[in-house]
Amino acid sequence: MTLNGWIQIALFCAIILALTPLLGGYMTRVFAGERTFLSPVLRPVEGALYGLAGVDAKREQTWLGYTLAMLVFHVGGFLILYSVLRMQDLLPLNPQEMAAMPPDLSLNTAISFLTNTNWQNYGGESTLSYLAQMLGLTHQNFLSAATGIALAVALIRGFSRASAQTVGNFWVDVTRCTLYVLLPLCIPYTLFLVWQGIPQTLGPYVDATTLDGAKQTIALGPVASQVAIKMLGTNGGGFFNANASHPFENPTALSNFVQMLSIFALGAGLTNVFGRMVGDVRKGWAILAAMGVIFVAGVAVTYWAESAGTPGLNALGLTGGNMEGKEVRFGIVASALFAVITTAASCGAVNAMHDSFTALGGMIPLINMELGEIIVGGVGAGMYGMLLFVVVAMFVAGLMVGRTPEYAGKKIEAKEVKMAMLAILVLPLMMLGWTAVATVLPSAVASIANPGPHGFSEILYAFTSATANNGSAFGGLTGNTPFYNVTLAISMFIGRFMMIVPAMALAGSLAAKKTVPASAGTFPTHGGLFVGLLVGVILIVGGLTFFPALALGPIVEHLAAVAGQTFGG
């Protein structure tokens, strides 16, 4: 570890803190329907879209109506994306004449991008046409991100409203998020990426002759526009198989740093939206502080582990850290920081191969995902995921002092706690359940590239990533098989929607409650005591549900590596 490395980490954190109130204030005005600097241009477009769709922007929905609208929206998105993938050989903008994607892989990919997971059991440049990349994947990148933010705002309204039966209008929220937030940020972001050297073209791939006379095909395409929303929307799906380690997706140290910032920007900003909407900005900062404590701890461990290197290489005198699977232009600190950011934010983009990290370095991304999209998390998903833990934390606080817990003026009662726990506990069911099946099924075990503890970690990482809607992978697992395509699709679907439905029921229940004025016995929820309680509850719940299984993989790997160094194999 070096001073330069810690300065990079500190600079990243400082910029995110500076952006949080700026983006939070802007998004609050957008979702409140207030005038913004873009309103003169976009308000007519917004109104025209409502007119074409037959949407009454002034008519709000109950939590159930909001949820059903969201589900219908996703059914339509699935049918469009699945059809494009299955028929891409018959559709235009296919200069490389890519074949249609097989049914099981099309199912996996459609569910993946629908749920903001972007798990990829294929290489983009060798599998998908330009139309599939744009109409299929980039299109869903925008809509899945907008959906996550809209759902978070709906849950926040549950906390901020009193004696209300509605939580907003799904169609209005998704439209405003896309028009006023995602598109205005992605357009200049795309131009910046083009300036940095990322291609943006509909021309065919280019053939080149190498120095030794061999023919090389250089893949191109509309890359910059997809990279912009993949990072800003915490989608993570790469245009190229190598994702953000590919020089055409992430060419420079500056592009790498800006991409890391964009992964966290909107998720962090939503904590400020929460504080503003409930009338106490300090509550938003307290939630961000809890996220930050876990994030910084993860960065420190990963940076230390990768800088220390592996015991085997150190025994040979090859010190200087673990550079396996990392790009030289980024180095250890930017690779470690990116790995923690992308798994903390449920993005899944990678600028280094997580499968090549040290055992402890690879454990932190696993822990981030096991905790369930809460350390900033996917755009929107991180906010409503963290608020579920807030409900549980306040319930624990109430048990300790013997009174009904309150948060943001709302009584937290049995129904709210049940909904929160239902949403939280669905994650280990998918992550650990399918991992158990895959470790005993011969066809699934055959996909493992590395036997022993690391092979177990590869399987656990896959189902953890899918259920947490992250999308990154330990690359040693061959996932493009019927078993993994189907089971990972189920994990992604359950991990997204079986968390959303209880969260929306919670929103409806809270919105209907009256606001209770704070009293001398009200637990303060904007200081260090609350932050400590929240972090403790998160780690305890994670410890009870995930860490026993987690220890069987990375920790055993680490102990085995140390034993191999100590005892000569």
Measured CA to CA in angstroms, residue 326 lies from 188, 242, 245, 338, 351 at distances of 29, 11, 8, 11, 7
| pLDDT of the residue at 568 | 35
Q: In this structure, which long-range contacts are made by residues 319-324, counting pairs with CB atoms below 8 Å and at least 24 apart in sequence?
A: 322/356, 322/357, 322/358, 322/361, 324/353, 324/356
* Least confident interval from 243-247, 248-252, 418-422: 418-422
| pLDDT of the residue at 545 | 62
- Is the backbone of residue 469 left (phi > 0), alpha (psi -120 to 50) or beta? left
Residue 131, pLDDT > 90, answer: yes
pLDDT band at 518 (very low <50, low <70, confident <90, very high): confident
Identify the DSSP state of 448: B
| pLDDT of the residue at 205 | 93
Residue type, 52: L
Residue 182, pLDDT > 60, answer: yes
Measured CA to CA in angstroms, residue 376 lies from 10, 218, 373, 384 at distances of 17, 36, 7, 10
Please compute the mean of the pLDDT values over residues 363-376 and round it to a whole number.
88
| pLDDT of the residue at 428 | 85
| Residue whose C-alpha is closest to residue 142's, from 31, 232, 269 | 232
Q: Using N-to-C axis directions, what is the helix angle for 482-512 and 381-401, rounded to 10°? A: 60
Q: H-type helices in 316-413, by residue range?
A: 331-344, 359-370, 381-401
Q: What DSSP string runs through 185-213? A: HHHHHHHHHHHHT--B--SPPEEEE-TTS
Quote the tokens at residue 133: 């990349």
| pLDDT of the residue at 342 | 94
- Find all residues with CB under 8 Å of 371, minimum gap 6, and list them: 294, 538, 542, 546
- How many whole angstroms separate alpha carbon 542 and alpha carbon 338? 23
Quote the tokens at residue 270: 């939503």
Tens digits of residue pLDDT in 29-63: 999 999 999 999 999 999 999 999 999 999 999 99
User: In this structure, how many other beta carbons lie within 10 angstroms of the beta carbon of residue 497?
Assistant: 16
Quote the tokens at residue 146: 């907008």
Quote the tokens at residue 178: 């896309």
Tens digits of residue pLDDT in 285-298: 999 999 999 999 99
